[in-house]
Amino acid sequence: MLPEEVLRIAADEMLDYKGSGMSVAEMSHRSKVYIAIFDECEALLREVMAIPENYKVLFLQGGASTQFAMVPMNLMTKNGKADYAVTGSFAKKAYKEATKFGDAIAAASSEDQNFSFIPKGFPIRPDADYLHICQNNTIFGTHYAELPETGDIPLVADMSSCILSEPTDVSKYGLIYAGAQKNMAPAGLTVVIIREDLVGNAPDSVPTMLNYKTHVDAGSMYNTPPCYSIYMCKLVLEWIKSKGGLAEMKKINEKKAAMLYDVLDHSELFIPKAAKEDRSIMNVTFATGDADLDAKFVAGATAEGLVNLKGHRLVGGMRASIYNAMPVEGCEKLAAYMKKFEEENK
């Protein structure tokens, strides 16, 4: 979901970007006018996320799934070992992919409880090249309230479904990556934030396009970047800034999530899926415990314009994805529908 204000600007500028006579969708990535958009997008991301100087920002393609390979190919190169916290199906995919490239292990897993919680206080190998986490688990509705302590071992985080939803202390991470399609921009853009010392450690056998150094050296312009998604990302960042930045986004997101969790916590019909202390403010998962009733809930919601509430097949039940662009009114409407549904079906 994208903010309506952003879509309006994109529509207005589609045929002629600020008098350039060109659409951003057709600009050369080497043109002055496009490079200004690109530079502004990076500057805004650095400002909004308060990214320290010793981190590089990359605008890439291929999604988080490509990062599942790039991370180990570039970072599991010192001791050939990496530890993964397996907290959902994407975290598990990242872990499985890493086993292709070295000694990757699941240092912790909540799979035996269907990923309903975030493991805490688990040991990591002292010679692991990094610890990988998925900071928000979209399908299961869990989120790290606190980061694992890793000492000198770089922490790598997949933030695809929580980036820009709250302030992030980037200095606690070695590498952050995110597919842009949840909170940043249309699909097709992947953002990587990497600490400088982690760049340049990949062997020559790594494909040029999968080597972070290629993109750092070329300022993300080794080949044509996903120009239009980067432009939309810039518009989204301007929108976030105008709303008061990430501290304000967090307040709004917590308020939105609290409306739904409050209904769940006072319900005799709905069962929340995620452990209370690990609840996501982006994805709220719940069920009635009766598949037919769940289906009735989803159908009734759709009839009221509340769409995409069916839970992922791995969890069943319902999932409300309430990313940045979801207005407060959308959550109010859903909370009201939930209460009405319980009233009518208890």
Chain residues in the site for its own copies (CB under 8 A): 1-2, 4, 7-8, 10-12, 14-15, 21, 23, 25-26, 28-29, 31, 61-66, 68-69, 73, 97, 100, 179, 181, 186-189, 204-205, 207-210, 222-229, 232, 305, 308, 325
- What is the greatest pairwise CA distance in the chain? 64
Q: Give least dist CB 266 to its own copies, A.
A: 30
Q: Angle CA(336)–CA(338)–CA(342) in degrees, nearest 5?
A: 120
Token readout for 50 is: 């308060």
Q: Give least dist CB 206 to its own copies, A.
A: 8
Please say which residue, 69 or 91, places its beta carbon nearer to its own copies: 69
For the chain, first and last CA: distance in Å? 32
Please say which residue, 80 or 119, places its beta carbon nearer to its own copies: 80
Contacts of 274 (CB under 8 A, 6+ apart): 116, 117, 140, 141, 142, 280, 285
Q: Give least dist CB 330 to its own copies, A.
A: 12
Which amino acid belongs to residue 169? D
Find the length of the chain.
346
Cα dist from 345 to 58, 173, 337, whole Å: 50, 46, 12
Please say which residue, 73 or 298, places its beta carbon nearer to its own copies: 73
Q: Give least dist CB 170 to its own copies, A.
A: 24
Please say which residue, 14 or 145, places its beta carbon nearer to its own copies: 14
Token readout for 18 is: 């600020």
Q: Give least dist CB 64 to its own copies, A.
A: 7
Residue 25 half-sphere exposure toward CB, CA atoms < 13 A = 8
Strands 131-134, 155-158: pairing kind: parallel
Q: Give least dist CB 151 to its own copies, A.
A: 29
Please say which residue, 32 or 346, places its beta carbon nearer to its own copies: 32
Please say which residue, 150 or 161, places its beta carbon nearer to its own copies: 161
